[in-house]
Structure 1
């Protein structure tokens, strides 16, 4: 047996005798190890479960926006505002919601056609006085616009500035400022002032003739989306004395959510109708309690 004075001498001797038979790397697998490796490979690696896909809200033209669940929107509004009460009627087709002051009222027609009037909001000076102003919305009105309207009813800020006041011109400017700032096209066609999105499928119209007649059945304001104002997919209409700030807030949400698009669910098919705005009955004398 050789003895060495240093590790270097030992490595040199090993290389001299065995250098031709030594291969770098790990030792080759034995037959048993090879069989085990082949068995593991045949089983394969379990496929990871894919993460659930959350679809992004679809961006669609404003006039094709799905209105959402209007009944659910009304129920949420009533649940969040205890000063509003739901009143039962003789028919399940309609729900009346009345503010505790009995000077603000909502009529909701549940099975209205998408282009028929499904909502009527009315304001009164006293519970037994004539109607001061009213606003209607069709059954296909998009949820963001409708929710803004109900939020305004809950807050009621600035409603002491009716559009039918002597400062009507200033009020029109106030109401349409969000549209002007959003770059909508302003045109004048006789008695009608119009603000239209560049796509021409969303707009707001002011009828100067109707604004001069507080008792007129013609709407002073029309907010719409669709092929044209004469054939709207949905429309919201307000009477002459509707509050300027309410119209301005609705115009603002329309301008913000349109850029001609609303983030919403896919469209529902709709048809056109020309049903006139219904009136809202006086507050019922008795209630059978609020529905849940």
Structure 2
């Protein structure tokens, strides 16, 4: 008996990936850079094609590092003192869906326009605007559930258990938060925390508004558009891929049929008239009647 072909392997062209946390990167940084460049932030690059974007007052700096020392493709830091250590830092690895990064940079652009009181706003429990719990509300609304994977970690897990937002309690090393995955916030997708499909981290003092913008994008039920050939194999195996087919031709209505028939009836046209179906023909002598 001949085995039936796997329909996944026959998919080609553009596809919708659902749920969106199982999509991969679009492998272009332009959409996520645009909100900041639209504010006339300075853009530079090195000989390795790494890109560096900085705010006019040097209060925020972004690195897009395809040739960086590790898989931290996106690194965003904010500074209360341009010459001091970062006040907070966010990192996205190289397979994080670009839409998630764009959601955060869009919120960052808004916060920057509002001033340091916004883009340096520290989370504070029990407040109306800066309570860390606000960041998980978008996930809860989409049916994510609480979990406690480790004694010091509170987590909220996607309905398919293939994405997790973790919050680590207690004191953390400030430098480790900026350079490793041991950060206050840790968002990742896949079946293993050690080998995630993608991950994002945010340090202790990252403004709640930025993290909320990220979780809103992750929780959005709308699928993400991808080119099938650029969807990594391990995403294909667990994600739902919906091919995008061209629209089917619409069947003619009875009115369409009547109008088409009427247009084909002989008309009392001058002898040298051009037939309606050929707008480029030259006038010709009338043909003999049949």
Instruction: Output the TM-score relative to the length of structure 2.
Output: 0.63
- Cα displacement (A) at 1:248: 1.2
**1:50-87 deviations in Å (ceiling 9; x for gaps):** xxxxx7742344454131133333554455231x1112
**1:189-237 deviations in Å (ceiling 9; x for gaps):** 3111111111011121101135x65555321101111223332111110
**Counterpart pick for 2:146 among 186, 189, 193:** 186
**Counterpart pick for 1:243 among 169, 193, 207:** 207
The answer for the alignment partner of 1:136 in structure 2 is 91
Is 1:196 matched with 2:157? yes
Rate the CA distance shift 1:160–1:97 in 2: closer, same or farther, 3 A: closer
Partners of 1:183 and 1:98 lie apart in 2 by 37
The answer for the alignment partner of 1:104 in structure 2 is 60
Is 1:148 matched with 2:103? yes
Question: What are the residue-to-residue correspondences of 1:69-108 with 2, within 5 Å?
Answer: 69-74=27-32, 76-77=34-35, 79-82=37-40, 84-89=41-46, 91-108=47-64
Question: What are the residue-to-residue correspondences of 1:168-183 with 2, within 5 Å?
Answer: 171-183=131-143
- Cα displacement (A) at 1:269: 5.0
Rate the CA distance shift 1:248–1:77 in 2: closer, same or farther, 3 A: closer
The answer for the alignment partner of 2:219 in structure 1 is 255
Secondary structure at 1:59 match in 2: strand
Partners of 2:220 and 2:21 lie apart in 1 by 14
Q: Are the aligned partners of 2:55 and 2:61 in contact in 1 as well (CA < 8 Å)?
A: yes
Q: Are the aligned partners of 2:92 and 2:199 in contact in 1 as well (CA < 8 Å)?
A: yes
Partners of 1:270 and 1:128 lie apart in 2 by 42
Partners of 2:72 and 2:203 lie apart in 1 by 14
In structure 1, the gaps of 5 or more residues are: 1-54, 272-292
RMSD of aligned alpha carbons: 3.0
Rate the CA distance shift 1:216–1:112 in 2: closer, same or farther, 3 A: closer
Secondary structure at 1:131 match in 2: coil
Is 1:268 matched with 2:232? yes
Rate the CA distance shift 1:96–1:257 in 2: closer, same or farther, 3 A: farther
Aligned residues: 210
Partners of 1:190 and 1:168 lie apart in 2 by 26
Q: Are the aligned partners of 2:144 and 2:159 in contact in 1 as well (CA < 8 Å)?
A: yes
Instruction: Output the TM-score relative to the length of structure 1.
Output: 0.63
